[in-house]
Amino acid sequence: MNKTKVSQTLAALVSLACLLILCHPDCLAKSDVNQSLQVKEQEALRLESAQEYAKAMNILEKVIETRSKQFNQDAFKKSCSKPGMTDLGVPDSANSRTYIQDLERLGWNCDRSREFEKGRKAFEKMYEINKDAFGDQNDRTVAALNQLAMHYERAGNYSLAETSARKCIDIQKKLTGPNDIQMVSWLGTLYHIYLDQDRDKDAEQICKERLSIAEHNYGKECPYVAGLLENYSEVLSHMGRSAEAKTFKERAIAIREKTHTKQEHKVNASVMPKGH
C-alpha cells in the first residue's frame, strides 16, 4: 500500500472514530442539554431586550448552574486561543467561553435589578476564572477586572471601584504602554466613578489624560476625539467654568461638522475602546 492510500485510510479511520464518539449516547444527551441551554439563553436575551431584567436573571442563574458543571479550565484556555472551538474541535457552546459570557450577562441583569450581591458574585467569578487561566498581566483578565470595577460603581462601592479601575490602568500601562488606546476605556471607568462622587477636579484630570491619548492615536480632528471634548466640556460646566466649557464644546462641534461623513468610517474601522 503506497503512502497516499495509507494517509487516506488513516484519515477515514479518524473521521469514523470522531463520528462514533459524537454518536455515543452520552454525547447525544449532552447535545440535547446544550440545545436546551441555548434556547433558555435566547429567551433571556429576549427578556433583556424587553427590559425584564429580573426574569432574565432568573433564567441565567439556572443556565449557569448547569454550565458550571460542564466548565473545564483547560478547554477554556484553548477555546480562547482558537475562537469558537475547544481542544476536541467541538463548537464551544458547552463548557467554556459561553459560560463566561453568561456570567457577565447575569451580572449585568442582577445590577439592573438592583440585586447587587448576586451581581458581585457573578462578576467576581468571571474575573477569577480569567485570572486563574491567564494570570494578572493579561488583557482578558484586565477586561474582566474592569467589568468588576463598573459593578462596584453601580453598587455604590466607590472605594473598591476605584481600586479595581486603577489596577486595570496600571496593568494596561505595563502591557502596552501609557498611550495605548485601550487606556481610554479603563480611564473612562475611573472618570465615571469620580463623576458619581462629584470629584470634578479628579474627573477633569482624567479628561485630560483620555483626550491626550486619543489625540496621540487618532489626531486632533476625529469624531472620537469630539466625544471626549464633549465630556470635558460637561465637567467644566459642572465646575462653573463656562467660558472654558464653551471652547471645548465649540471645538467638538467643529470636528463633527468637518469629519462626520469623511472620517467616521475610518475611525469606526479602528480598534476602538470598549466600555465607556
At 194-253, the pLDDT tens digits run 999 999 999 999 999 999 999 999 999 899 999 999 999 999 999 999 999 999 999 999
| Residue range(s) defining the domain that contains residue 86 | 33-134
Residue 71 covered by a domain: yes
pTM of the model: 0.78
pLDDT for 219: 93
Which of 18-24's residues contact partners 24+ apart within 8 Å by CB, and which partners?
Answer: 18/89
Residue 144 covered by a domain: no
- Residue 1 banded pLDDT, cuts 50, 70, 90: low
Cβ–Cβ under 8 Å, residues 165 and 190: yes
Residues whose CB falls within 8 Å of the CB of residue 225, separated by 6 or more in sequence, listed in order = 211, 214, 215, 218, 219, 255
Taken in order 247, 195, 213, 147, the sign of the CA dihedral is negative
Residue 92 covered by a domain: yes
Burial category of 63 from C-beta neighbours within 10 Å (exposed 0-12, middle 13-18, buried 19 and up): buried
| Amino acid symbol at 30 | K
Distance CA 118, CA 17 (A): 43
Residue 230 covered by a domain: no
First to last CA, the chain: 63
Residue 117 covered by a domain: yes
What number of other Cβ atoms are within 10 A of residue 261's Cβ? 8
- What 3-state DSSP class applies to 222? coil
Distance CA 222, CA 7 (A): 56
Residue 90 covered by a domain: yes
Residue 270 covered by a domain: no
What number of other Cβ atoms are within 10 A of residue 109's Cβ? 26
pLDDT for 79: 65
Tell me: the pLDDT tens digits for 9-44?
A: 555 554 544 444 445 444 445 567 788 999 999 999
CA nearest to 71, candidates 123, 125, 19, 118: 125
Distance CA 265, CA 263 (A): 6
CA nearest to 171, candidates 186, 153, 156: 186
Sole residue written with cell 502591557? 175
What's the structural domain count of the chain?
A: 1
Domain of residue 86, CATH code: 1.25.40
Residue 45 covered by a domain: yes
What is the tally of helices (H) and strands (E) in the chain? Answer: 13, 0
- The three cell numbers of residue 265 are 468610517
Distance of alpha carbon 206 from the chain centroid: 21
